[in-house]
Structure 1
Amino acid sequence: MIKFSRHIRKSLLEQNKMGKYFKYAIGEIILVMIGILLALQVNDWNAKRTLKSKEQVYLKQIKISLQNDLESIKKTKAFNALKASNIDSTFIVLEQSNPEKYVPAIINYMNMTAEFDVFEPNNVAFENMIASENIDLITNMELRKNLSLYYKRDFENSTQERVKEQTRQFVDDIMPKLGNRQIVKQFMKHDSRLPDISEVNIHSDTQVYANLLIMIANMDGQNELLDTTTKEIKRLLNLIDKNLKS
């Protein structure tokens, strides 16, 4: 092509057709400029496509993390429901006022009432994007803002922290009160100088009732937090899906 162009220019010069020569030369320059502009446009398009592809990869990973968060929330709420049921059963057995009946029951319920479950979001995918300084890849400003707010939230030092603290307080308070000669004999096969089970008076201990009631209240607060978080996650997933389709 280049040799062909040179041949035409040389022929025009030899024929002393300067007007046609300049027109042809200008035409060549215009074609070259058009070619350069097209190449730049193609490079820009390829660059944008590469960035869009990276954005899609990050969003798909974050979407999986958010879906896993929804499952974690369901598990935490299911645990809270079982624990609340056990606490309710504890109140019922304490109505009997007979330590020989309610002490073994309470000890059995301790497998659940002495535990807690808290929700922590899976932020690995988002943190990887932040660490790579690729947050700007998310072109939807609403989505970028809401993702940042979601992952900046402190889920540990919230009502969930009160759930943990109150559960630990309940355990620390009730365990010494459950101690009696018969229970030690049952589990340790040893005699002890602890009081007889008939002397246990948890059924009239206001601190035990208070701890149980506060645990229920704290779990209610935690469930409200989890419900609000569920709605937020679903909004984020909806925004991500729209962005993935665009």
Structure 2
Amino acid sequence: MIKFFRYIRKDLMGRGKTGKYFKYAIGEIVLVMIGILLALQVNSWNTKRLLKSKEQVYLKQIRISLQNDLESIKDVKEFNAAKVSYIDSTLIVLEQSNPAKYIPAILNYMAFTNEFTVFEPNAIAFENMIASENIDLITNMELRNNLSQYYQIDFVNTTQERVKEKTRQFVDDISPKIGNRQLVKQYTKHDSHLPDISEVNIHSDTQVYSNLLIMNLVIDNQNEFLDTTTEDIKRLLGLIDANLTL
């Protein structure tokens, strides 16, 4: 193509048609400029397409993480429901005044009352995007800001920390109080100088009742926090879906 243009220029100059030559030269320059602009436009379009593609990949990964977060919250709340049920059962057996009957029951319930579970979001996809300095790929400012706010929340060292604290307090308090001669004999086959089971008085211990009631309260607070978090996640998923190209 270049040789063709060069041939035309030589032909026009050789025949002394200077005016036509200049018109042709100007036309050639215009064509070259149009070609450059088209090339730049295509390059810009390709760049935007690649950036959009990367944004979509990150959004899909974050979407999966948020869906997993919803499942994790569901698991925590199911555990909490079971734990509250066992706390209630503990309070019921303590209505009796016979330690020989309520201690075996409490020991069975402690498989749940001694444990706790907390929710922590799966932030790997978002953190990978931040580490790669690609947060600007998310063009929707509302979505970008809401994601940043969500992943900046300290999910553990707030309401959920109280669940851990009060559960451990309950365990530390009740464990020595529940010990008795018959219990040691049952599990170790050894005698001990511990009090007889009839001397155990957990059923009238205000600290035990206080710990059980407070555990119930902090679990309710945790569930409220998780309900709010669930709504936040659903809003984020709605924003992500609105920005995903199917």
2: CA distance, partners of 1:43 / 1:12: 36
Q: Deviations over 1:205-242 (max 9, x none)?
A: 11100000000000000000000000000111111111
**Aligned equivalent of 1:29:** 29
Q: Deviations over 1:40-99 (max 9, x none)?
A: 000111111111111111111111111111110000000000000000000110111111
**Aligned equivalent of 2:62:** 62
Q: CA RMSD in A?
A: 0.9
Q: Deviations over 1:143-201 (max 9, x none)?
A: 00000000000011111000000000000000111000111111111111111111111
Q: Spell out the pairing of 1:50-129 with structure 2 (5 A cutoff).
A: 50-129=50-129
Deviates more, 1:16-25 or 1:216-225: 16-25
2: CA distance, partners of 1:110 / 1:3: 91
**Aligned equivalent of 2:188:** 188
2: CA distance, partners of 1:141 / 1:234: 18
Letter of the 1:209 partner, please give it: Y
Say if 2:182 and 2:197, in contact at 8 Å, map to a contact too.
yes
1: CA distance, partners of 2:204 / 2:237: 50
**Aligned equivalent of 2:214:** 214
Give the 3-state SS of the residue equivalent to 2:116 in structure 1: coil
Q: Spell out the pairing of 1:145-160 with structure 2 (5 A cutoff).
A: 145-160=145-160
Q: How far has the Cα of 1:109 moved from its partner?
A: 0.4
Letter of the 2:27 partner, please give it: G
Letter of the 1:29 partner, please give it: I
Q: How far has the Cα of 1:6 moved from its partner?
A: 1.3
Q: Deviations over 1:108-139 (max 9, x none)?
A: 10000000000001111111111111111110
Q: How far has the Cα of 1:9 moved from its partner?
A: 1.2
- Runs of 4+ aligned structure 1 residues displaced above 6 Å come to none
**Aligned equivalent of 1:225:** 225
**Aligned equivalent of 2:14:** 14
**Aligned equivalent of 2:2:** 2
Give the 3-state SS of the residue equivalent to 2:244 in structure 1: helix
2: CA distance, partners of 1:179 / 1:122: 41
Q: How far has the Cα of 1:245 moved from its partner?
A: 2.3
2: CA distance, partners of 1:234 / 1:202: 45
Give the 3-state SS of the residue equivalent to 1:245 in structure 2: coil
Q: How far has the Cα of 1:12 moved from its partner?
A: 1.2
2: CA distance, partners of 1:24 / 1:148: 58
**Aligned equivalent of 1:170:** 170
